[in-house]
């Protein structure tokens, strides 16, 4: 990492958001009890995939439902790669979808590099 300039680092990560979740706890006035009905979960899920540098957001994509390798490949090829530059280093975790064989060659084709974090190290990815 000593040879990588800070402005050349790009950090990529994904997250899922469940839209139908309800709170499991509530507040009430002193001496009163909080009551509510919690229906069976029926909401949809949205996945957000994004990459940032120290100065800007490189690329963001949202999809309905969960992310898989095909969706991640589409994100890399259509959203991320057009924003990369020669010498960029894309840092990502070890999610199996990130390690599909086609991902690294897509990124390396523009002169960028891929750096996978060590297992169980989320503190290295802002």
Per domain, the residue ranges of the chain are 6-15+47-124
Q: In the predicted model, is pLDDT for residue 6 greater than 90? A: yes
pLDDT of residue 66: 87
Q: In the predicted model, is pLDDT for residue 20 greater than 70? A: yes
The number of C-alpha atoms within 13 Å of 111 and in the hemisphere containing its C-beta is: 6
| Phi and psi torsions of 18, nearest 5° | -95, 120
Distance, in Å, from the CA atom of 11 to the CA atom of 24, rounded to the nearest integer, reads 33
pLDDT of residue 107: 97
3-state secondary structure of 95: coil
Q: In the predicted model, is pLDDT for residue 10 greater than 70? A: yes
Q: In the predicted model, is pLDDT for residue 38 greater than 80? A: no
Q: Note the pTM of the prediction, 2 decimals.
A: 0.78
> Tell me, which fold does domain 6-15+47-124 have in CATH?
Nucleotidyltransferase; domain 5 (3.30.420)
pLDDT-derived band at 39 (thresholds 50, 70, 90) equals low
pLDDT of residue 35: 80
CB 72 within 8 A of CB 98: yes
* pLDDT tens track for 58-85: 999 999 988 999 999 999 999 999 999 9
DSSP codes joined into one string, 59-74:
EEEEEES---HHHHHH
Higher pLDDT, 87 or 119: 87
CB 84 within 8 A of CB 10: yes
Residue from 6, 48, 13 nearest 126 by CA = 13
Distance, in Å, from the CA atom of 80 to the CA atom of 91, rounded to the nearest integer, reads 12
CB 117 within 8 A of CB 94: yes
């Amino acid at each position: 990492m000593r040879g990588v300039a800070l402005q050349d680092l790009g950090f990529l990560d994904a997250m899922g958001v469940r839209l139908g979740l309800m709170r499991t706890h509530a507040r009430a006035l002193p001496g009163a009890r909080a009551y509510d009905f919690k229906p069976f979960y029926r909401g949809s899920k949205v996945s957000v995939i994004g990459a940032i540098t120290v100065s800007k957001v490189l690329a963001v994509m949202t999809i309905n439902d969960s992310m898989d390798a095909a969706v991640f490949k589409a994100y890399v090829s259509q959203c991320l790669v057009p924003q990369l530059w020669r010498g960029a280093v894309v840092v990502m975790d070890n999610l199996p979808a990130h390690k599909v064989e086609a991902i690294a060659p897509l990124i390396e084709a523009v002169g960028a590099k891929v750096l996978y974090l060590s297992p169980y190290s989320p503190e290295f990815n802002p």
